[in-house]
Structure 1
Amino acid sequence: MPETGKKLLAWVALAAGIGVLAGLASALLIVALNWANATRESHHWLLAGLPLAGFAVGWLYWRYGGRAAGGNNLILEEIHTPTEAVPLRMAPLVLLGTVLTHLFGGSAGREGTAVQMGASLADWLAGLFGQKQMRRVALMAGIAGGFGGVFGTPWTGAIFGVEVLAVGWVGWNSVLEGLGPCLIASFAGDLTVHLMGVHHTEYHIGAAPALVPIHWVWAAVAGVVFGLIARLFSTLHHGLSHLFKKMLAYPPMRPLVGGTLVALLIWGLRAWQFAGLGVPGILASFDGQQPWWVWAAKLGLTALTLGAGFKGGEVTPLFFMGAAAGSTMAGLVPLSVGVLAAMGFAAVFSAAANTPLAGVVMAMELFGGRVGALAGLACVTAYLFSGPVGIYSSQLPIMVRWKMWMEKK
């Protein structure tokens, strides 16, 4: 077999292996979080343990985390400028930290955990098979496998793996380097989750809307609102993180104090629906109009939880915020509650992550063509109005990323 063919075969096998590992990790994460959320909902008193759980998570990362504490941003930095391997201990640490966050009532997601597990396992596998020179692409495949597996959206996972690197649309360098491996890893991750018998949440939107001009106009208008919500979340999240680091030099104290505040707010306001993932709140937004403050409450509690140093992700809470904000508009916008919730679901995520194309593809995968088309316009509009601030501080402007890629050629 020619040398080129051998390399291609090796990369197909490696990408598939990365996807399988990411899928196994995602399946474990979904099962663990389902247990954690169900247990907490049956035993509200667990919320009282959130401060101590936060201290435990903070101490583990302070004592044993090392570079793994960099989380998603460390992975992006290693793709931009590879230096040394992503620590394999990132996977068990972030899994344990995320389960503790959800079990005791922190408001967080799961995408960050799946991505970190997928990428750290991908880096380990690439080193094991002597592919260290291709670490960047392996890490991209790990991101794709984790995202596609945990949400059941393989096309979105592949696009997310190449788009999340830079702000300002997808760079052709990322597409040329990583789209193939990301597709293989994302579909392998999703298939693995299904073969493990783990199921994803299904969203029901009712009748699909007609694609008439007025609906396109309202999709763009709604997109502006979704973009501003995404910008508010990213700004508040980063601001609170900076404040906790400035006020509390000892890292374990940050989630202890933050966990105390989150627990007091949830308990005092009886706001149990905002603890954990908030999947019931997302489903409720598809079924009926929500009060305006619902999305704002989830936004504030999630920014406080993650800003204090708890582990998890931002994306599922962003789904919650977007779906709730969309359903709130049902009395003003001539579209159904389900369609508006679907638009917000995809648009707030894509704007906050600076991944509009992934948001468009996700809307198509989850909600079908006609809803996806309107949601796609909302995603692009939201992205344009969310500004350069996003949830991943290590994303690079697209021209900087392109220049770095050219210099490596």
Structure 2
Amino acid sequence: MSPLLRKNQSHTFLWLLRSLLLGLIVGAVISALTLAVEGATAIREKHQFLLFFIPVGAALTTFLYTKIGPYLKDAGNQVIQMINLGIIDIAHPSAIGFKQDAQSNYSKISTKMAPLLFLNTFITHLVGASGGKEGVGVQIGASLGSNLGRLEHFLFSRKNPSLDLKQQGIWLISGAGAAFGALFNAPVAGTLFGMQFSSPRENRTDALLPCLVSSLSACLITQALDVHVFHPLAVEAFPLDLQTILTLSCMAIVFGLFSRIFCLVVNWTKQLFSNIKKSPLLRVAIASLCLLVASLLIYWVTGAFTYNGLSIDLIIQAQLGETSLAAPFLKLLLTALTLASGFVGGEVIPLLVIGATSGSLLATFTTIPVSAMAMFGAIGMLSGSTKLPLACFVLGLELFGYANPLSLFLVASLSYGASGKLGIYEKQILPEGVDWV
């Protein structure tokens, strides 16, 4: 055996061990996060007066960031930038601009990130803000990957001053992919998400095997711990002919435009409240009071707090064709106000909810089964907002157990093309010509 082959085998074996260990740790932490969110939701549903503490929760979240580390509020963008520096390092390691960026961004992922995000997500769901958990989960997974990589480097590579960008990127990609996979019990989608979410323009294929092993092992841990993950209803099959393809194409473009509206509304709402520059606490106080008032008005009209928290039940209702006409708009309103109030959690689950309810309503104008349209709406809006059509396509297959990949792939692709350049990941590097419409 040649020395080069032996070296490659040793390198692969080491990454298998690293990614396996990382996946086990991330799987356990994501399981704890899922249980914490479920616990907070159960407490709030039992004691509905906690909704009146939305302004207190927003103020506490802001206070914790201010005292522990204001830079941690931009944790998601920091993770994306560090992964993208690794991509540039591989492609143009001698570029002067890259060297300057590398020095200015060679900051470490703080060990404070994971526990602070965990606590703030618990607060979000305890008081009933309309957030998710996957955004925080991905950041926690990336943080664990970064810290585990630094620990290994400290123990075994003390002669080198710092972990190189390429290896650091693999740790971050594997941690993020493992978290996403564990949150939805979707290991393949988790792998693709980890490899692509920072830069859909480039694929870090060097991270494929580590990310797959981490994602798969994290999913196995959540399954072994019997942690509840979202299981939507089975999607009704239907024949795919030319007329149906044309109908689906039109619907996919609509979902892409809806995702564009979602991103615009969220950004506009954040900017509206950011104009209150006198005090961060005053800004979140006003935004969270608006969130509380909107929640109470929705309760007065609907008789339930269904739109607060994760709102997973709305997806089930959408698949059954029981969606109210106002459902997607009410969820969008509460989600935008939640993000403007400084609460953390994520946008993926709200996007799935808004997309599913929109698809369910649009099903009345087509011959496509309502359960399928709800799924297409959920995956279409997610594809458009994340700019990750391949990962969302696979998530649809794994999450909904869908047996017709062509129609789902068509929806994910066209929704992505119609969504424009604005997405939920601010520092994401997008391909040229992303906007087809």
Report the TM-score range of the alignment, normalised by the length of the smaller protein.
Answer: over 0.9
Contact 1:22–1:114, Cα closer than 8 Å, also in 2: no
Distance 2:402 2:248 in 1: 15
Distance 1:61 1:30 in 2: 22
Offset, 1:268: 2.0
Aligned to 2:26: 22
Distance 2:201 2:371 in 1: 30
Aligned to 1:406: none
Give 3-state SS (helix, strand or coil) of 1:370's partner: coil
Q: Which of 317, 338, 342 lines up with 2:375 in the alignment?
A: 342
Aligned to 1:403: none
Aligned to 1:89: 112
Aligned to 2:8: 4
Report Cα offsets for 1:248-296 as digits up to 9, x if no partner.
Answer: 3433333332221111111122151110000111111111242332111
Distance 2:183 2:388 in 1: 17
Offset, 1:364: 1.4
Contact 1:111–1:315, Cα closer than 8 Å, also in 2: yes
For 1:126, give the aligned amino acid: G
Contact 1:286–1:323, Cα closer than 8 Å, also in 2: yes
Would you say 1:33 and 2:56 are equivalent positions?
no
User: Which structure has the larger Rg?
Assistant: 2
Between 15-24 and 99-108, the greater mean CA deviation after superposition: 15-24
Distance 1:251 1:187 in 2: 41
Would you say 1:46 and 2:79 are equivalent positions?
no
Sequence identity (%): 29
TM-score (norm: length of structure 2): 0.87
Distance 1:204 1:300 in 2: 26
Cα distance change on mapping 1:253 and 1:23 into 2, 3 Å: farther
Contact 1:209–1:370, Cα closer than 8 Å, also in 2: no
Distance 1:83 1:253 in 2: 33
Give 3-state SS (helix, strand or coil) of 2:125's partner: helix
Contact 2:235–2:401, Cα closer than 8 Å, also in 1: no
Contact 1:90–1:120, Cα closer than 8 Å, also in 2: yes
Cα distance change on mapping 1:178 and 1:398 into 2, 3 Å: farther
Offset, 1:375: 2.3
Offset, 1:302: 0.3
Would you say 1:326 and 2:359 are equivalent positions?
yes
Aligned to 2:150: 127
Offset, 1:356: 0.7
Task: State the aligned residue count.
Answer: 395
Distance 2:125 2:169 in 1: 31
Offset, 1:384: 0.7
Report Cα offsets for 1:203-227 as digits up to 9, x if no partner.
Answer: 1135311222222222211111111
Distance 1:287 1:371 in 2: 20
Would you say 1:312 and 2:312 are equivalent positions?
no
Contact 1:262–1:305, Cα closer than 8 Å, also in 2: yes
Q: CA RMSD, aligned part only? A: 1.7
Would you say 1:283 and 2:316 are equivalent positions?
yes
Aligned to 2:79: 75
Would you say 1:156 and 2:217 are equivalent positions?
no
Distance 1:374 1:27 in 2: 32
Would you say 1:246 and 2:306 are equivalent positions?
no
For 1:108, give the aligned amino acid: G
Aligned to 1:256: 285
